[in-house]
A and B are shown apart, each in its own frame.
Chain A
Amino acid sequence: MLIRPDDEVYRVDAVWLGPRGLTLPWAARYSAYGIWVVLFVSILLIEAVLPMRVSLPPVWELVLSILATYALTGVIDHERPLSSALQTLRAELTAPRAPTEARPVLLDAARVRMRENHVHEAPHRSRKGPTGASQH
């Protein structure tokens, strides 16, 4: 009995070739367009939050978002969808790290003050004499 996994069916490359009658010189997945829009808008938003000037047309923003999309679509594929890339990023950020320096814990006794007896601190009781102190 031959058994085939179904993965193949789910590996469909849904690309957008361009509007009818016009074939774009590149073939990008639908998701890439989505990612680009999100990145583009978020760059604009960041620029809006920070007091930065947006020129028209926003050439730098366009180039940046296209490059970022290109980089991001490079790490995502059918095996690793966009959500998994974000999960990986999150997991990497929150993973426990080894302590950078192995510092032994030393109990610090510097703030503990000692004195031989409390008699010197209280001169007005000194008339009781050393015999009174020695009774302690």
Chain B
Amino acid sequence: MFTRHPTEAAKGRLALRNIDDHLCFTADEVWAWYVLPTQLWAFRSDTQRGQLLHGFGDGLAWLAGHRLHLRVTSRPYPTGEWAKQLHGLTPAPLETPGQPPWSEHLVEMQLHLRHQTMAEKEVYLGVRIKSRPPSHRMMSAITRRPTDIEHARVLPELERITETVALPGLEGRPATARELEWLLRRSIGLGMPSPTDLSPTPDPAWDREDLASFTDRVEYAAQPLGRTVKLTSRGAGSAVERHVAVLSVGRLEEIEAPDPAHEPWLSHTDRLPFPVEWSAQFDVLSGVDARRSIQHKLLVVRDMQRHYAEHDLDEPLALDRQARHAREVEDQMTRGVDVAAARIHGWFRVAVSAPTEQECLERVRKVTTSYRSRRVTIEHPKAQYGLLREFIPGEPLATTAYRRRLPALYLAAGVPTASSRLGDRRGPYVGYTAGASRRAVMFDTHYATEVKETSGLVPVVGGLGAGKSVLLGQIVYEAVRRGIPSVVLDPSGPLARLTELPELAPHSEHIDLTTAASGTLNPFEVVASPLRSAFTTEDAFTEAEVFAAQDRKLLAMDVVKMLLPASVDALPATSLVVSDAVRTTGGSPHSSLWDVVKHLENHHNPHGRVVANYLRDMSELPLSRLFFPSAQATGERLRANLTVLTMPGLVLPPKSVPRDHWSTSEQLAVPLLHLASWYATRAVYGRQMQARKLVALDETHFLGEWSAGRALFTRLGRDSRKWNTCVLAASQNPSDVLGMDVANFMSAAFVGRLEDEEAARDGLRMLRVPTGIGYERALANLSSARGQSAFREFVMRDVDGNVDKLRVDLTGNPGLLEALNTTAGRRTANGSKSDGEAVA
């Protein structure tokens, strides 16, 4: 900047003169600014990534001859708007006397979100259109703003550039005056708290006098040869102080693009726990210009080689390498297409800021070391104030040091626009993305059914210790607080702690199924009878009744077969006699397994008698009374806002042990789980059709092996939209869920750590992510850091089809964290947190 306006720069004036909509006029240049949308990057196929790179590179190549200014900044998550929307979507929140109300909870969540530095990435691209001729400058000096003639002269070029920037690779659109105001305020007060008081006037033109309002508030102070610049903002409140350091990208290595192992090099900083700003100014050289400059260098190399030969000296090996490289580049430029030939010569700066100088330098160190692993050198030059000003739109370069000469594709491979978009942005907060960037993820349990009109079935898959219970607990807790009636089937029982939370306790019910009334899980009764009011026509109602009767028969048949030893079940005659006996009951809701036993005994079939005897033996086991009613079962419960069904002492058979070797209790566990799952879904049909409902089922991987379980899933998938229900189904094995033919019914999906390669592949299939290109490893590494403060990580596919890594965040709600983090019987001495290992 000092080369052009040494006097003005010394006074600290901006180079900008006017902003007309998206056009910025400096003293002698005209720039047009565009907003580039962020692009999804995580978990996409190489082809999609490749297309994105080439599109971006192509866009740059089309802008050959212009100087570009790329600015990456951030905007805080609009927590206020989010909370307002969520409040609007929560007409009847749960209110507990003596406990903080829902509105208080919302405020807490907002505060938590605000302290998480979760910002939305924003990418701006400035294109220098042309220099302003002296005549235009003179005219605008008289009229105090660019004249119409000047606008008209710029227009054709501007239109061409706008069209180019809007091409598929960049997809940019002109920035509005308001966005430019934001960018200016962010650039001038680099690292300052985000501006809240944007101009209230809608006038898109900013004059030189108006621009003072941007600069007046921020004071700069640099130490001689200092490493940072101190910024002090004197806004309406107290003075805010920030120290900012600007770094420059030094030497770069060759890269593989797209590289599944790494984030793109320009988006690498998104992973850092503090916000980082980018400013890159670069000239795009067309193939011809680039070739001329490389040919010139080749001549120098050749000359040097000759010079060494003249002196009979061995030339440095570097010369030969450079000559070869130059020839390769030249060849690429001559024979390659535009996108391969286009080159950029530019300067890439990174700015970090912190409240104290020491912290700022610490952040500098973090940026440098994190890039060292990528084999990118980050320099921390002197003259920080000059570099800092480069971030402001319209400011010229402060120094020509650290110029990078790169193929346009190299810049494109940095994918500055890569970001993650995950979640519906309207539901309660569940966590943040842990892949490329840290963005808040909201998950509304009824977004799928109410807005997208799809099924509400959400599988949650993960191996032992993947954090399934924590995620289920988090989602259910928020749903209950929103007043959505929820039923949770959690056989192992840690989620029962939810019912003890003071804010939920008065509205919750914990049902221990093992001590429930005899006949609670009667297979004929657990399948709910359809409500007449839910169907418009008589035919539909009759059809639903037939379906229910079929489900009952199917369930009874499966339960009987599950109770039999594997050897008896394997006999062909068994199926025949059992199905005969079950058919005789007619699938009536008033039947019971005793009716089946009686029919078996009355059939005069010796095999039927054998089966009946087995069943009578099984009915003597303590837990069997649940499905062999001794008296009339009590009426339906599940009326509380939160019902947690548990079955303590239930021993589920290990996956690896074949059925022949199961113990009696293990053998009994499977039908119990089936019936309990069916029982839990009664909550859906017992309430009004349009009212929101939530059902969370754990250990659903046992359901996929039997037709009754698959029928349950198909039914849930089919009915969840109509009945406005969100069904969370946790399972250890993705293939079981996939095997249930519900792939079409899944709206969102959560996949946790899966170490087995085969299971990981199924998990990816469930997420609809391409397999076989390295993403399996990503699933194996999720939640790898276990322990007290460990995060639970999942790969989530949201209802809109975006996929990224999600880190479940419970730190905003310590009470819930403690409830979910602690396993019964394993409390530590201080009575608070223990490790979350047993919470699977």
Partner pick for B225 among A4, A5, A15, A92, CB 8 A cutoff? A92
State in angstroms the CA–CA spacing of A1 and B405 once bound together.
19
Q: Does B316 contact A (CB under 8 A)?
A: yes
A4 touches B254 (CB 8 A): yes
Please, what's the 1-or-0 string for B252-294, where 1 marks a CB less than 8 Å from any CB in chain A? 1111110000000000000000000000000000000000001
State in angstroms the CA–CA spacing of A96 and B223 once bound together.
9
Residues of A with C-beta under 8 A to B316: 13
Residues of A with C-beta under 8 A to B829: none
State in angstroms the CA–CA spacing of A20 and B9 once bound together.
48
State in angstroms the CA–CA spacing of A17 and B300 once bound together.
15
Closest to A75 in B: B382
Interface size class of B (residues with CB under 8 A): 35 or more
Closest to A85 in B: B401
Of the A-B pairs whose beta carbons lie under 8 Å apart in the complex, a sample of 28, sorted by A's number, is A1-B50, A3-B413, A5-B252, A6-B294, A6-B406, A7-B251, A7-B252, A8-B321, A9-B297, A9-B405, A10-B297, A12-B297, A13-B304, A13-B316, A17-B311, A17-B313, A79-B251, A80-B381, A80-B402, A83-B400, A87-B401, A88-B381, A88-B383, A88-B399, A88-B401, A91-B386, A94-B10, A99-B221
A2 touches B379 (CB 8 A): no
B230 touches A98 (CB 8 A): yes
State in angstroms the CA–CA spacing of A95 and B398 once bound together.
12
Closest to A7 in B: B405
B257 touches A9 (CB 8 A): no
Q: Does A122 contact B (CB under 8 A)?
A: no
B254 touches A97 (CB 8 A): no
How far, in Å, is A98 (CB) from chain B's closest CB? 3
Partner pick for B385 among A7, A20, A95, CB 8 A cutoff? A95
How far, in Å, is A80 (CB) from chain B's closest CB? 4
Please, what's the 1-or-0 string for A18-49, where 1 marks a CB less than 8 Å from any CB in chain B? 10100100000000000000000000000000
Q: Does B93 contact A (CB under 8 A)?
A: no
Q: Which 7 A-B pairs have the closest CB atoms?
A: A98-B221, A91-B386, A84-B401, A91-B383, A95-B385, A4-B254, A95-B222
Residues of B with C-beta under 8 A to A9: 294, 297-298, 301, 322, 325-326, 329, 405
Closest to B57 in A: A3
How far, in Å, is A33 (CB) from chain B's closest CB? 14
Partner pick for B410 among A5, A20, A79, CB 8 A cutoff? A5
How far, in Å, is B666 (CB) from chain A's closest CB? 53
Closest to B252 in A: A5
Q: Does A11 contact B (CB under 8 A)?
A: yes
Residues of A with C-beta under 8 A to B61: none
From 224 to 264 in chain B, residues with beta carbon under 8 angstroms from any chain A beta carbon are: 224-225, 229-230, 250-257
State in angstroms the CA–CA spacing of A90 and B1 once bound together.
10
Residues of B with C-beta under 8 A to A1: 50, 256-257, 409
Partner pick for B329 among A6, A16, A20, A88, CB 8 A cutoff? A6
A96 touches B220 (CB 8 A): yes
Partner pick for A79 among B2, B383, B402, CB 8 A cutoff? B402
How far, in Å, is A113 (CB) from chain B's closest CB? 36
State in angstroms the CA–CA spacing of A6 and B3 once bound together.
27
Q: Does A59 contact B (CB under 8 A)?
A: no
A92 touches B405 (CB 8 A): no
Partner pick for B255 among A3, A10, A97, CB 8 A cutoff? A3
B322 touches A8 (CB 8 A): yes
B404 touches A15 (CB 8 A): no
State in angstroms the CA–CA spacing of A15 and B225 once bound together.
31
State in angstroms the CA–CA spacing of A96 and B9 once bound together.
10
Q: Does B622 contact A (CB under 8 A)?
A: no
Q: Does B407 contact A (CB under 8 A)?
A: yes
B404 touches A5 (CB 8 A): yes
Q: Does B307 contact A (CB under 8 A)?
A: yes
Closest to B2 in A: A90
Residues of A with C-beta under 8 A to B222: 95-98
State in angstroms the CA–CA spacing of A15 and B316 once bound together.
11
Residues of A with C-beta under 8 A to B303: 14
A87 touches B386 (CB 8 A): yes
Residues of A with C-beta under 8 A to B6: 90, 94
Residues of B with C-beta under 8 A to A91: 2, 383, 385-386, 398-399
B399 touches A84 (CB 8 A): yes
Closest to A96 in B: B220
Partner pick for B2 among A7, A11, A20, A87, CB 8 A cutoff? A87
Residues of A with C-beta under 8 A to B50: 1
A79 touches B322 (CB 8 A): no
Partner pick for B224 among A83, A88, A92, CB 8 A cutoff? A92
State in angstroms the CA–CA spacing of A54 and B326 once bound together.
48
Q: Does A132 contact B (CB under 8 A)?
A: no
From 68 to 106 in chain A, residues with beta carbon under 8 angstroms from any chain B beta carbon are: 79-81, 83-84, 87-88, 90-92, 94-99
Residues of A with C-beta under 8 A to B220: 95-96
Q: Does B310 contact A (CB under 8 A)?
A: yes
Residues of B with C-beta under 8 A to A98: 221-223, 230
Most buried by B among A11, A20, A96: A96
B252 touches A18 (CB 8 A): no
Residues of A with C-beta under 8 A to B195: none
A2 touches B322 (CB 8 A): no
From 365 to 416 in chain B, residues with beta carbon under 8 angstroms from any chain A beta carbon are: 379, 381-386, 398-407, 409-410, 413
State in angstroms the CA–CA spacing of A17 and B407 once bound together.
33
From 1 to 45 in chain B, residues with beta carbon under 8 angstroms from any chain A beta carbon are: 2-3, 6, 9-10, 12
Most buried by B among A1, A7, A95, A97: A95
How far, in Å, is A127 (CB) from chain B's closest CB? 59
Residues of B with C-beta under 8 A to A94: 2, 6, 9-10
Partner pick for A95 among B304, B383, B410, CB 8 A cutoff? B383
How far, in Å, is B309 (CB) from chain A's closest CB? 11
Q: Does B552 contact A (CB under 8 A)?
A: no
Please, what's the 1-or-0 string for B202-232, where 1 marks a CB less than 8 Å from any CB in chain A? 0000000000000000011111110001100
Residues of A with C-beta under 8 A to B319: 12
Q: Does B797 contact A (CB under 8 A)?
A: no
How far, in Å, is B637 (CB) from chain A's closest CB? 62
Please, what's the 1-or-0 string for B315-345, where 1 marks a CB less than 8 Å from any CB in chain A? 0101101100110010000000000000100
How far, in Å, is B377 (CB) from chain A's closest CB? 9
How far, in Å, is A79 (CB) from chain B's closest CB? 5
How far, in Å, is A53 (CB) from chain B's closest CB? 36
How far, in Å, is B597 (CB) from chain A's closest CB? 69
Partner pick for B405 among A10, A13, A16, A96, CB 8 A cutoff? A10
Closest to A79 in B: B402
Q: Does B535 contact A (CB under 8 A)?
A: no
Closest to B222 in A: A95
Residues of B with C-beta under 8 A to A10: 297, 405
B329 touches A87 (CB 8 A): no
B402 touches A6 (CB 8 A): no
State in angstroms the CA–CA spacing of A84 and B12 once bound together.
20
A23 touches B313 (CB 8 A): yes
